[in-house]
Chain A
Amino acid sequence: MADDDIAAKNPQRSGTNRRRFLMASVSSAAAPAFVRAATADAAAQRNSSGARLPADFTLTINGRDYQLAVDPRTSLLDLLREHLALTGSKKGCDHGQCGACTVLLDGRRVLSCLTLAVAAQGRAVTTIEGLAKAGALHPMQQAFIDHDAFQCGYCTPGQIMSAIACVNEGHAETDADIRESMSGNLCRCAAYPNIVAAVRQAKPVMKTASRD
Chain B
Amino acid sequence: MRPFVYERVGDWAAATQAAGRLGSAPASYLAGGTTLVDLMRLEVMRPERVIDINALHDSRYGRIEFGQNGLRLGALVRMADAADHPGVQRHCPVIAQALQLAASAQIRNMASLGGNVLQRTRCTYFRDVSYAACNKRNPGSGCAALAGVNRMHAVLGGSDHCIATYAGDFAQALIALGASVDLISADGARTIPFAKLHRQPGDTPDQETTLRPGELIVSFTVPAAPWTRRSLYLKVRDRQSYEFALASAAVALDLDDGAVREARIALGGVSTVPWRAAEAEAALRGKTINDQTAMAAADAAFAGAQGRGHNDFKIELGKRTLRRALRQAAALEI
Contacts and interface: CB of A to CB of B under 8 A. Distances in A.
Contact of B37 (A109, A115, A162, A169): A115
Given A50-B5, A183-B241, A119 B54 contact: yes
B37 A72 contact: no
Interface in B81-112: 103-107, 109-110
Contacts of B107: 96, 111, 114, 184
A119 B38 contact: no
A108 B105 CA distance: 10
A99 B34 CA distance: 13
B30 interface: yes
B33 interface: yes
A110 interface: yes
A162 B6 CA distance: 29
**Chain B residues touching A, range:** 20 to 34
Given A2-B1, A73-B4, A180 B241 contact: yes
**Chain A residues touching B, range:** 35 or more
B120 to A, nearest CB: 13
A43 to B, nearest CB: 8
Interface string B159-197: 000000000000000000000000000000000000000
Contact of B30 (A96, A116, A169): A116
B310 interface: no
Interface string B2-21: 01111010000000000000
A7 interface: no
Contacts of B50: 72, 116
B203 interface: no
Interface string A51-88: 11001000000000000000111010000000000000
Interface string A171-194: 100000001111111000000000
Nearest to B6: A72
B4 A114 contact: no
Contact of B110 (A71, A115, A181): A115
B206 interface: no
Nearest to B30: A119
B104 A183 contact: yes
Given A114-B37, A119-B30, A99 B106 contact: yes
A35 interface: no
B77 to A, nearest CB: 14
A2 B5 CA distance: 14
A94 interface: yes
A71 B54 CA distance: 20
A114 B5 contact: no
A95 B104 contact: no
A194 to B, nearest CB: 18
Contact of A110 (B41, B52, B106, B241): B106
Given A43-B3, A110-B109, A119-B6, 16 more contacts: A72-B3, A72-B50, A95-B42, A109-B105, A109-B109, A114-B32, A114-B38, A115-B37, A116-B33, A119-B54, A169-B105, A171-B105, A181-B105, A183-B241, A184-B106, A184-B107
